[in-house]
Amino acid sequence: MAEGDTILRAARRLDAALTGDTVTVAAPNPRGRAARIERLDGRRLDAVESHGKNLLLRFGDLTLHSHMGMNGSWHVYPRGGPWRKPRGSAWAVLAGETREAVQFGGPTLRLVAVDRIRRDPQLARLGPDILAPELDLDAILQSLRAEPGRTLGDALLDQTVVAGIGNIFKSEACFAARVDPWRAVANLGDDELRAVLGAARAQMLQAVESGRHTYAVYRARRPCPVCHGRISSRGQGDANRTTYWCPRCQG
């Protein structure tokens, strides 16, 4: 699943390619036609934003909302150039002056009227973006404290608490802060919660710049880089997403 860093990189790539251009729009795949993506044809792309795992392309009073989930993607190509995927699988093609952005797959691609975004069930409930220029840590702590019985690893994935953290940075941030992801939020101090969130933000901002993910514990491919002990892994939370941690360093 693409996490917030990947989405922010995609937003920057799309912004550089198309913002300010009037786009020619096609929806080769029926999924794109069902979303009536062609309504954007002839409109100017005003801005591209990311919020957590969501991409928002602003076209005047219409916004294109994309959530890539496990298998969605956006590609940017020279206009009219070859693609790495079949044309028929593209949900949306946004062709600008010199480049075109092509969207494939994922759980969400839809148009939302700007005046409905604030009440939109998918967008209005999102918590603060972990990569926002001005991060409101107090608001995130308040949301975390609202469900004190929850384990930290589970709560960090809740996009209504904090938007953008996924399974990789859940595990990596807890390790970096030396906090056990299985502890209940109620048993964690504000300093510990701030350390985990700060680590997630720092690691994700680094990944935005480098475009690479380097793992200390995620996927447990190597022993712990600190104590050289075995990394543990187990499904956590309602969605049973695998958490990786070092029982010695995070004990």
Rounded to a whole number of angstroms, the minimum distance from the CB of residue 225 to Zn ion is 8
Task: Give me the residue label for tokens 């969130």.
Answer: 197
CB nearer to Zn ion: pick between 163 and 224: 224
Rounded to a whole number of angstroms, the minimum distance from the CB of residue 227 to Zn ion is 3
CB nearer to Zn ion: pick between 4 and 181: 181
User: Closest by alpha carbon to 61, among 1, 111, 4?
Assistant: 111
CB nearer to Zn ion: pick between 1 and 226: 226
What tokens were used for 93?
A: 């093609």
Rounded to a whole number of angstroms, the minimum distance from the CB of residue 248 to Zn ion is 5
Regarding 217 and contact with Zn ion (CB under 5 A), the answer is no
Regarding 90 and contact with Zn ion (CB under 5 A), the answer is no
Degrees (nearest 5) of the Cα angle 173, 175, 176? 65
Q: Which stretch binds Zn ion (CB under 5 A): 35-43, 174-182, 200-208, 243-251?
A: 243-251
Q: Which of residues 51-80 bind Zn ion (CB under 5 A)?
A: none
Regarding 246 and contact with Zn ion (CB under 5 A), the answer is yes
Q: In what order do the strands lie in the sheet with 54-59?
A: 47-51, 54-59, 62-67, 108-113
Q: How far apart are CA 81 and CA 92, in angstroms?
A: 16
Q: Which of residues 218-237 bind Zn ion (CB under 5 A)?
A: 224, 226-227, 229
Q: How far apart are CA 64 and CA 111, in angstroms?
A: 5
33 dihedral zone (left: phi>0; alpha: psi -120 to 50; beta): alpha
CB nearer to Zn ion: pick between 205 and 220: 220
Regarding 249 and contact with Zn ion (CB under 5 A), the answer is yes
Regarding 179 and contact with Zn ion (CB under 5 A), the answer is no
